[in-house]
Structure 1
Amino acid sequence: MTRNTLSSSLLFCMLSFSSLAETRIAVLDFELKDLTLAPGVPAEVQRTASIKPLLEQELKRAGYVVIAIPNQAQQTANSGVGYLFDHADAAAQLGKQFQADYILVGRLHKPSFLFAYLMGRLVKVEDGKLIGDYISESKGPNASLTIKAVESLTTKIDHDLERRYSPPPPAKLAH
């Protein structure tokens, strides 16, 4: 192997690795769609608010660069509840403003007191195309179940992107 070939191969590998490490994802605040007879109770509002930071943490653990979008910018782009969730093109425009490669718009859909669905839509910012539409079920309001649903959501997102995420092993229960 000549010196130029070796140098070219090494440079190509470094550039390939650096492009993998630089996938930039913006995660928007999750919206609560509570269809129960007691919608919007403080515990559900709090659980919904916990999803974004948990998801960002897991995406960072997988090696993605998480792009922060200020709440005010999200509110300005959102023409109403569910607008960004239903309009990939508008979500992509918001992501472009903050140099994200992808933007994830999420919702906690709660049709019952017994379970809820973490729903996420991943949009490629460059062309506004929907990359994935994900759902993870969470049975009950327990925080550990919400964390498991976030890990499941992260696995699904990563499957469509880089395939490098491994959720943490289940926690052992103390006896």
Structure 2
Amino acid sequence: MKIIRKTIAPSLLLLMLVLCGTVNAGERIAILSFELNDITSLPNTQTERVRTASIKTLLEQDINRVGDYDIIQISPDQQQAENAGFGYLFRFHDVAAKLGKKYGADWIIVGQHSKPSFLYSYLMAHVINIKTGRLVARYDVELKGNHQKVTQRGVRKLSREINKVIIKLGNGG
């Protein structure tokens, strides 16, 4: 009876704590800086570059608002070192997954801000599973207008969709 009280009971308690801690651990998500694909007659203005640069931060904040996630930081310099050219990481999911794996992420979000017109643009995001190196979801969110409120609304919609797919697939896979 003493063996059970002194050895087995604490061991079971420790095992339960470890398992519960693992189940409740937040998914680790890396969100890369969005690339601007501005094909209007006056492309890549300072205003659009600033707007596009804000998308990563807005998405990180909103992803944390909708779910229990650990945001993995990958700097623009680290991203650029792996990027062979415009759209490379967006098109080659396995390369993006290797970048995310290097920094301990479960998921990596690679995105572009596509602007075919002055009136509207699209937030395009790929959700990539680090374990498999495969695209698990692709989202295109239309932004009608170019002011900050529109961008925030689009990012909010995008974060809800990303949250849904990660909850559905769970724990990196």
Q: TM-score range by the shorter chain?
A: 0.7 to 0.9
Q: Which residue number corresponds to residue 143 of structure 1?
A: 148
Cα RMSD (Å) of the superposition?
2.1
Tell me how far 1:15 sits from its aligned partner. 3.3
Matched letter for residue 116 of structure 1: S
| Equivalent position SS for 1:162 | helix
Stretches of structure 2 that go unaligned for 5 or more consecutive residues are: 1-7, 169-173
| Between 51-60 and 12-21, the greater mean CA deviation after superposition | 12-21
CA contact (8 A) 2:89 2:110 kept: yes
More helix by share: 2
Q: After the TM superposition, which residues 26-175 of structure 1 pair with which residues of structure 2 at under 5 Å, given as runs?
A: 26-61=30-65, 62-162=67-167
Matched letter for residue 136 of structure 2: I
CA contact (8 A) 1:48 1:108 kept: yes
Larger Rg: 2
CA contact (8 A) 1:20 1:162 kept: no
Percent identical residues: 42
Tell me how far 1:94 sits from its aligned partner. 0.2
| Ranges of 4+ aligned residues in structure 1 off by more than 2 Å | 7-21
Q: TM-score, normalised by structure 1?
A: 0.83
Alignment: residue pair count: 159
Cα gap change, 1:12 to 1:161, in 2 (>3 Å): farther
Q: After the TM superposition, which residues 5-44 of structure 1 pair with which residues of structure 2 at under 5 Å, given as runs?
A: 15=19, 18-44=22-48
| Equivalent position SS for 2:44 | coil
Tell me how far 1:60 sits from its aligned partner. 1.4
Tell me how far 1:22 sits from its aligned partner. 1.8
Cα gap change, 1:8 to 1:134, in 2 (>3 Å): farther
